[in-house]
Structure 1
Amino acid sequence: MASDSSDDDRPLARGTHMSAATISAAEDREMDRTDSKARPLPPGVSVRNGPVIEDKMDIDSTPNGTTKRKSRSSVTQVKKEESDSDDGAPLAKRQKSKHKQQESDSDDEPIAKKNGKLPPSIKETETLESSDDDQPLGTKLAQRKASIEKAAAKEAKALRAADKKKAAAKKAIKEESDDDEPLAKQPKKHQSNGTGSSAKKTNGVKVKKESESDSDAPIAKKGKKVAAPAKKASAASKSAKVKEEEKEEKSNENSEEEERGGGVSLHNGVLFPPPYEPLPSHVKLYYDGKPVNLHVEAEEVATFFGSMLHATQHVENPVFQKNFFTDFKEVLDKTGGAKDMDGNPVDIKEFKKLDFTKIYEHFRSISEAKKNRPAAEKKAEKEAKAKLEAPYMYCKWDGRKEKVGNFRVEPPGLFRGRGEHPKTGKVKKRVMPEQITINIGKDAKVPDPPPGHKWKAVQHDNKATWLAMWQENVNGNYKYVMLAANSSIKGQSDFKKFEKARELKKHIDRIRADYTRDLKSEVMAERQRATAMYLIDKFALRAGNEKDTENEAETVGCCSLKYEHVTLKEPNTVIFDFLGKDSIRFYNEFQVDRQVFKNLKMFKKPPKEPGDDIFDRLTTTQLNKHLSSYMPGLTAKVFRTYNASYTMSRLLKGLKADGLSMAEKVKLYNDCNREVAILCNHKRTVGASHEAQMEKLGDRIKGLKYQKWRTKMMMLEVDPKLKKKKGAEYFEREADLTDEWIQNHQKFLVEELRTKIQKKFEKDNEKLAADGEKPLTDKDLKERMKAVSELEAKFKKENKTGKVEPEGKNPTVEKLEAAIVKLDERIKTLELQSADREGNKEVALGTSKINYIDPRLTVVFSNKFKVPIEKFFSKTLREKFRWAIESVGDSTDWEF
């Protein structure tokens, strides 16, 4: 297959070693000489997450542990890593913008190091695929993935055949209707290309104009499907039908402009954070054991660090400390430096001599005081905040009232970043009105800036989707005030994204066949492109754009991988280790096709060395240009959405939920979601609080088991003969309910009751005070606390006698048995939740569900198995995906 561009257009990274332009048969054979006799594992699934011991590579490391990279230049310089969506940014700014992701569940997050240890591999972790057979999980998942890809190829051929049949039927109708019109009015015949169509073919695929597909049209505007005409239909009715379809097609061409309408017309600007309040005179920053006075601007920067001493993962990070101290010193120099209590200058030279303890204690006391305020005071503050924010919450967009997303200007503080970001700890300066550009309708009143200030600029761009913008100082990124996620504009953007992925279904088999063939191409550029497409399609790697390494974090994607980011192990294991999006370490180990392994070995062939590009004859721009020849608008990132959604649709098809409880149905959905995350490599770092949460959940389960055992003991008190009837085993205590655990749990229950009574007492007093009534006294509290003493005495007696007195009004065996049934249901539900959480700890279910799985699939599952959609989508997500819920309706047979 011909290359997209000539060798003259290839990126040439100065000072690096380039791959040869072509590959000889002798070079191909040379790659086979070192083949291992070991049997290759099946390709397609991540098999391990753990350390790499690489003793053959000499990698230079910087002080913060990241690898030095040689600069990479190309014909097209792009200063932005690929983001999931640029839709919200203005065209002129999209390449510079960097949008924040919705959750911390980024799907590119690797299973990173923690406390010097890496988590177990997939093989060692229990998942939905665990079974008693001897087949490794990685092999089973690879086979599942291969099966899904085979089904995708079969479906693609069927879809194209159906489209061809519809097109032929439509053409027949049109030709017949043309025959019935006067000759002068008949349309001119176009020259045939031998296929019955004048459409251009590229890569063997007919490329339609955007207007020929209704996949991107709003739901209300989508063209109706054309059914085969009835034989007896009149020529007049056929002609009318064709004209109606042509009218709909023309409507589809302009659908996007109609949706965009006149753009933003009216809003009230942005809400600035409150001004800084200086510290009390007795709260000081200490240097070398002595308090110092600071200018108010320097003091504010000191509070940024002092207020977050509890966030040890940041404040104990050497890079964070270094960046903060550098910026703090700059502010000190600008504002006259620090002085001691006598007014003498203090030269602050060493970070380790700074003591922020007093500042931290001050802010912690403020936080505690806020938590302990009366409910009435909290309510009043909430109402005041809502009143302040009300004018900014909505805007007018083309005459419609739309909710604004984040209208608050980010307050100053310290940049934290994600992963191993090199700028973590730098000071985020306060954003002033003079930095903000307002976008508003021409005839609308421009919102007033704060007194004494003015806006940077005011513009009237009715095609832009933002209301206000400014540039932050740390990374130079542009921040935008956009419409909320549940707005019609955002919903349309999501709809188009998933429709584009659905359209890929028709072409996926040919794309895969082509890049599989090109894996053996004699042209190096084609072989590199095919290998990159394989990795992006199979392992959900981001394409990765080139970076300005002097000004941006050194993050990479597939096309910008360096020599040191890829480790090869015979016969077909590839280990990736690099900083991905948001500086998150991507560390994973994959089994690949043998030809892909050989290609990567060739791309790393000497004289290449650390710092050299793996894909030195490929850029993301070239890759996406090639992909667009298969399908208009197709880019590398569409594969992520397609693979996740198509995999989920195939998994949901085979589900049966007969006789399952609601909790089991929810877990069934999560199991499918989890498998999508594994197959598509949507990983995340295990949360720091995971173990504590699991322990707490385990205690809740044991608490219910203890309650169940106590209930059985009550049954024996009501009817001692039950022990003989039901057998002694029925009344035995479970092994994990040891005497020590029970005593600790009893203490917990006593304290829980005490706290509950105390809080109820305080709440009752607040209510009485609000109603102007006499408050309760300490005597009333003491009376209520008698219940605590009674519970302590009860537990003491039970532990001594081994008997449990029946509780409740008129206890009977039947009532107690009914209580045990309910307890069993609660235990089962919590055990399902526990298994679900444990299985989800290393996979990003939220990321898959929100960003990559078509929400209409979730709605269909909800309808089919009668599970409330609230079980899967929060209120915010239900608003975001309103278009999906409304378009599917009550249907149970909608397919991706």
Structure 2
Amino acid sequence: MSDSDSDAPLRGRSRINGTAKSSDKVPRNFDKARPGEMPSNEHVNPGVSVRMGEMVEMNVDSAAQNRTQVNGTLSGKRKSRGSLANGKTSYREASSSEDDDKPLSKRQKTTTAAKAPDSDDDMSDEPLVKRTGKAAKKPPKAAAHQIGEDSDSDVPLTTKLVKEKEKIDKAAEKQAAALNAKDKKATGTKRKAAKPTMSSDDEAPLAKKKPTAGKRQSNGVKNAKSDDDVPLSKVPAKKGKGKPDVKSESATPVKKGKAVKKEEKTEEDMQAEAEEEEYRWWEDPTKGDGTIKWTTLEHNGVIFPPPYELLPKKVKLVYDGKPVSLHPEAEEVATFYGSMLHSTVNVGNPKFNENFFADFKKYLDKTGHGRDKDGNMVKIEKFGKCDFKPIFEHFEAQRAAKRNLPAAEKKAQKAAKEEVEAPYMYCMWDGRKQKVGNFRVEPPGLFRGRGEHPKTGKVKTRVQPEQITINIGKGAKIPEPPAGHKWKEVKHDQEGTWLAMWQENINNAYKYVMLAANSDIKGQSDFKKFEKARELKKHIARIRKDYTRDLKAPVMADRQRATAVYLIDRFALRAGNEKGEEEADTVGCCSLKYENISLVPPNKVIFDFLGKDSIRFYEEVLVDERVFKNLKLFKKEPKTDGDEIFDRLTTSALNRHLNGYMPGLTAKVFRTYNASFTMSELLKSMKSEGTIPEKVKDYNDANRKVAILCNHKRTVAASHATQMEKMEDKIKGLKYQSWRLKMMMIDLDPSIKAKKKKKEGADYFNLPEDIDREWIVKHQEALVEEQRQKIQKKFEKDNEKLKADGQKEMKEKELKERLKAANELAAKFKKENKTNKVEAEGKSPSIDKIEASLEKLEHRIKTMTVQMEDKDENKEVALGTSKINYIDPRLTVVFSKKFNVPIERFFSKTLREKFDWAIKSVDENWEF
């Protein structure tokens, strides 16, 4: 649009190439108008309900009328799946990464969507090109306890958190000022704001800020001259393998040419040498700064999935009531679907079935369809006539047989599998042994996708060696491909951190074999990611000041950019990029469409779109009045459904602008910074006391606040109610056990009843209120059955051991003898119910022993009650996403050390290996 048109009335704008474009400048009188006086094309739509509220009449954005029609229905929670679609479990579907900085758990959690993998990769936040037309269900109204609100509180938790976040943001501004002042004092150079510029052309290059003295390097690690914020000691690297030089500066140098007498090593000397051998790369931040990632690299390639095994002759696909034989290629595809009939989330999805059958028919057409028992061709044309149940039953039987294998045989199979995989599990990287992550080539199967992925159900073809490129050192031995095959290519890419790669057929994406999460390279990637977020501390106040000012910028591109940065910073939205028509219709902040935002005066904004991994993002937020006005401006006529909100902004332009503040700064860094800084401020004011479970709950409460503020939410798992019932039943069982012990006290000394009632209260010997006689009978039956099962399993285990030792197995008579104990327990419960008395149990029972047992039981009840409450409060919040991907793991280590909680309570074995650098590098006084 020409400059002469820039001040023309908004309603006079025309559509360009079928798409409405905002004028390049904002009308002069726009900012003077009050919200109620602004020109509007809004429609009155009475009776629209707002999330978590009642039905009220109000003026809303026209997009709100069809908001529930946008982006399809809520996706259900994806069930865990086996490694192979055909039911084999020797392979698991390997997760590949094309970005060294991608986190271990790639699950995005949203308010109303299933838990799905999350990453920092903005490339998957794409625009919504097509609307599904399905009615999206509105999220149910959450109860107080579901979001962490006290039942007796009048203020929702999210409202409290907004106020708490405001305090944290102010603390961030003060800290930024203090850090900059310290930098200025240390370096004698003032840190100046290089104001990034942006023309009306959103792709125009932006002015880049020159690095100032004392500034961190591009990898987010500080220059050695600036030590104001360095959390770790820096150790110079040795030449060659990059090990840090751990020699003491005070060590006496050895003169050349003279032999040194070798002294006998003490135990302390050997321990010191062992510690020296450990490669503490996090104390050597210069390692990995260059483009060359390795000097020498050796590995054994990849493991391919086993070839397809034909179905038994009696197991066939049934078409129109008739068993049919298929060509092996088509039969394998049929097993992909038949083996997963238990996955109702997938086989109950019409799109999944449609895509599968379309691909299945291609194989049928290629191989001649099916044959009946007489050899006549049966043309398979309708999905509804296909019965895959015989195939499913075959694989279910295989899975059951595998589960029921004797322990010794399972152990032998596992050992054999590990022996085959051992050569592939590790590589030699610059002379250091490093664990490889996903060395298994993905097996063929059906693509599941996430959320409402348009390609769900399509056939993932078998990957052949001819598709695989190997990356290895020049002098290293090249792995042998399978017999009769050859590699696509062998490279010696020293700038790459991948070992092998291939292109899959669904999205034509490249899959990479990388080092494991606990390797040095992956650890360094995580370290740099969080150090970059720490560096943002120094710039956040200036960035917020600038985008707040630019919310009133006269140039439309500047105003759109400022509004987008506000949304990314305050509400953890991903940036978003353009995607092709064949890819999932996902959206990020920069690619939001007209229909993805509804505006409810005076300042409520409703986001409703498919986010990363096609997971629905639905959130209602309150925004600054200026931001609300700007969004109204960006939605003005002639814009309508399908038009972009930020039509003069792209993710690349936004990131170039942010890079002007700080090298390497992109929109995704805000998510890491906001999560880590918020957690850091919460930990500073935390005083955790009590038992270990109570301290863990304190940590989870803080983590939950971060997750809510960062929109890391999820739908309640289908199994949650069942899990809660089981936990409640266990607690009731402990209470019943406590009551029985009290009854035993009366059996030993009837006079104690009066004494305890006087001391503990009249209800001391009464049954707990939540336990009745009917429940007791059922619980007793369960206890008897549990004992029977234990006896049965112990008998079978003992026989297996005897057989393995070459001895004669025990007969059924021995089992019957052992089962008498369960029968005696049943008789004891029957007598107790009849007499309402409990006889003291055990050897030499006494009041003191029973009271000691009661104290232990009370502790267990308290612990389980805390754990149950914690689990219930977390059912709608995804703590894992925040803890693993966005909260600096060193903060979790600080909590662990400060409050004496074992780190195992927060990090699993895998995570402890992944974050080994964090566990070993900080103490309880470290600050983000």
So what's the TM-score if we normalise by structure 2?
0.81
Please report how far the alpha carbon of residue 376 of structure 1 lies from its aligned counterpart in structure 2 after TM superposition.
Answer: 1.2
Change (3 A) 1:842 1:292: same
Of the candidates 427, 433, 442, which is equivalent to residue 401 of structure 1? 433
Of the candidates 517, 529, 542, which is equivalent to residue 549 of structure 2? 517
Tell me, yes or no, if structure 1 residue 851 matches structure 2 residue 910: no
Change (3 A) 1:118 1:264: farther
Aligned residue number for residue 901 of structure 2: 867
Paired AA for residue 728 in structure 2: G
CA offset digits 1:75-133 (Å, max 9, x no partner):
xxxxxxxxxxxx9977xxx7xx9x98644742346346999976555673455553745
Task: Tell me, in whole angstroms, the C-alpha distance in 1 between the residues paired with 2:914 and 2:526.
Answer: 9
Change (3 A) 1:565 1:226: closer
Please report how far the alpha carbon of residue 596 of structure 1 lies from its aligned counterpart in structure 2 after TM superposition.
Answer: 1.0
Task: Tell me, in whole angstroms, the C-alpha distance in 1 between the residues paired with 2:35 and 2:458.
Answer: 50
Matches within 5 A, 1:348-387: 348-387=380-419
For the 8 Å contact 2:147–2:876, the answer to whether it is kept is no
CA offset digits 1:206-248 (Å, max 9, x no partner):
9453995446669899567389xxxxxxxxxxxxxxxx9xxxx
Aligned residue number for residue 512 of structure 2: 480
Please report how far the alpha carbon of residue 56 of structure 1 lies from its aligned counterpart in structure 2 after TM superposition.
Answer: 3.4
Task: Tell me, in whole angstroms, the C-alpha distance in 2 between the residues paired with 1:714 and 1:215.
Answer: 71
SS of 2:753's equivalent?
A: helix
Of the candidates 623, 627, 638, which is equivalent to residue 596 of structure 1? 627
Task: Tell me, in whole angstroms, the C-alpha distance in 1 between the residues paired with 2:143 and 2:840.
Answer: 49
Tell me, yes or no, if structure 1 residue 26 matches structure 2 residue 34: no
For the 8 Å contact 2:111–2:619, the answer to whether it is kept is no
Tell me, yes or no, if structure 1 residue 562 matches structure 2 residue 596: no
Please report how far the alpha carbon of residue 296 of structure 1 lies from its aligned counterpart in structure 2 after TM superposition.
Answer: 0.4
Aligned residue number for residue 65 of structure 1: 72
Aligned residue number for residue 798 of structure 2: 764
Change (3 A) 1:116 1:160: closer
Of the candidates 430, 442, 452, which is equivalent to residue 474 of structure 2? 442
Q: CA RMSD in A?
A: 3.3
Tell me, yes or no, if structure 1 residue 876 matches structure 2 residue 876: no
For the 8 Å contact 1:438–1:459, the answer to whether it is kept is yes
Change (3 A) 1:18 1:218: closer
Please report how far the alpha carbon of residue 136 of structure 1 lies from its aligned counterpart in structure 2 after TM superposition.
Answer: 3.6
Tell me, yes or no, if structure 1 residue 508 matches structure 2 residue 540: yes
Please report how far the alpha carbon of residue 48 of structure 1 lies from its aligned counterpart in structure 2 after TM superposition.
Answer: 4.8
Aligned residue number for residue 341 of structure 1: 373
For the 8 Å contact 2:96–2:438, the answer to whether it is kept is no
SS of 2:29's equivalent?
A: helix
Paired AA for residue 710 in structure 1: R
For the 8 Å contact 1:332–1:338, the answer to whether it is kept is yes
CA offset digits 1:410-462 (Å, max 9, x no partner):
11111111111111111111111111111111111111111111111111111
Tell me, yes or no, if structure 1 residue 167 matches structure 2 residue 194: no
Show structure 2 runs of 5+ residues with no match.
1-5, 8-14, 40-49, 75-94, 116-133, 198-206, 230-248, 250-282
Change (3 A) 1:224 1:604: closer
Change (3 A) 1:225 1:712: same
SS of 1:401's equivalent?
A: strand
Matches within 5 A, 1:401-480: 401-480=433-512
CA offset digits 1:163-182 (Å, max 9, x no partner):
101112xx8xxxxxxxxxxx
Aligned residue number for residue 624 of structure 1: 655
SS of 2:771's equivalent?
A: coil
Please report how far the alpha carbon of residue 721 of structure 1 lies from its aligned counterpart in structure 2 after TM superposition.
Answer: 1.4
Change (3 A) 1:597 1:214: closer
Matches within 5 A, 1:72-221: 102-103=104-105, 105-108=107-110, 110-111=112-113, 120-121=140-141, 124-128=144-148, 130=150, 132-168=152-188, 201-202=194-195, 207=209, 209=211, 212-214=214-216
Aligned residue number for residue 724 of structure 2: 694
Aligned residue number for residue 732 of structure 1: 766
Task: Tell me, in whole angstroms, the C-alpha distance in 1 between the residues paired with 2:825 and 2:210.
Answer: 76
Change (3 A) 1:347 1:62: farther
For the 8 Å contact 1:122–1:137, the answer to whether it is kept is no
For the 8 Å contact 1:469–1:480, the answer to whether it is kept is yes
CA offset digits 1:818-846 (Å, max 9, x no partner):
11111111111111111111111111111
Please report how far the alpha carbon of residue 357 of structure 1 lies from its aligned counterpart in structure 2 after TM superposition.
Answer: 0.8
Please report how far the alpha carbon of residue 808 of structure 1 lies from its aligned counterpart in structure 2 after TM superposition.
Answer: 1.2
Paired AA for residue 717 in structure 1: D
Aligned residue number for residue 268 of structure 2: none
Task: Tell me, in whole angstroms, the C-alpha distance in 2 between the residues paired with 1:218 and 1:20.
Answer: 38
Tell me, yes or no, if structure 1 residue 292 matches structure 2 residue 324: yes
Please report how far the alpha carbon of residue 134 of structure 1 lies from its aligned counterpart in structure 2 after TM superposition.
Answer: 3.3
Task: Tell me, in whole angstroms, the C-alpha distance in 2 between the residues paired with 1:336 and 1:125.
Answer: 59
Task: Tell me, in whole angstroms, the C-alpha distance in 1 between the residues paired with 2:679 and 2:71.
Answer: 40
Aligned residue number for residue 842 of structure 1: 876
So what's the TM-score if we normalise by structure 1?
0.84
Tell me, yes or no, if structure 1 residue 710 matches structure 2 residue 716: no
Aligned residue number for residue 420 of structure 2: 388
Task: Tell me, in whole angstroms, the C-alpha distance in 1 between the residues paired with 2:879 and 2:627.
Answer: 29
Please report how far the alpha carbon of residue 533 of structure 1 lies from its aligned counterpart in structure 2 after TM superposition.
Answer: 0.6
Percent identity reads: 62
Show structure 1 runs of 5+ residues with no match.
1-5, 37-45, 68-86, 172-194, 228-243, 245-250
Paired AA for residue 25 in structure 1: R
SS of 1:788's equivalent?
A: helix
Deviates more, 1:845-854 or 1:722-731: 722-731
Change (3 A) 1:522 1:55: closer
For the 8 Å contact 2:109–2:881, the answer to whether it is kept is yes
Paired AA for residue 657 in structure 2: H
Change (3 A) 1:386 1:606: same
Matches within 5 A, 1:709-858: 709-727=739-757, 728-858=762-892
Please report how far the alpha carbon of residue 252 of structure 1 lies from its aligned counterpart in structure 2 after TM superposition.
Answer: 8.9
Tell me, yes or no, if structure 1 residue 668 matches structure 2 residue 671: no
Aligned residue number for residue 191 of structure 1: none
Change (3 A) 1:145 1:220: closer
Task: Tell me, in whole angstroms, the C-alpha distance in 2 between the residues paired with 1:541 and 1:884.
Answer: 27
Task: Tell me, in whole angstroms, the C-alpha distance in 2 between the residues paired with 1:770 and 1:115.
Answer: 61
Change (3 A) 1:100 1:115: farther
SS of 1:293's equivalent?
A: strand
Change (3 A) 1:211 1:412: farther
Aligned residue number for residue 613 of structure 2: 582
Task: Tell me, in whole angstroms, the C-alpha distance in 2 between the residues paired with 1:322 and 1:50.
Answer: 39
SS of 1:423's equivalent?
A: coil
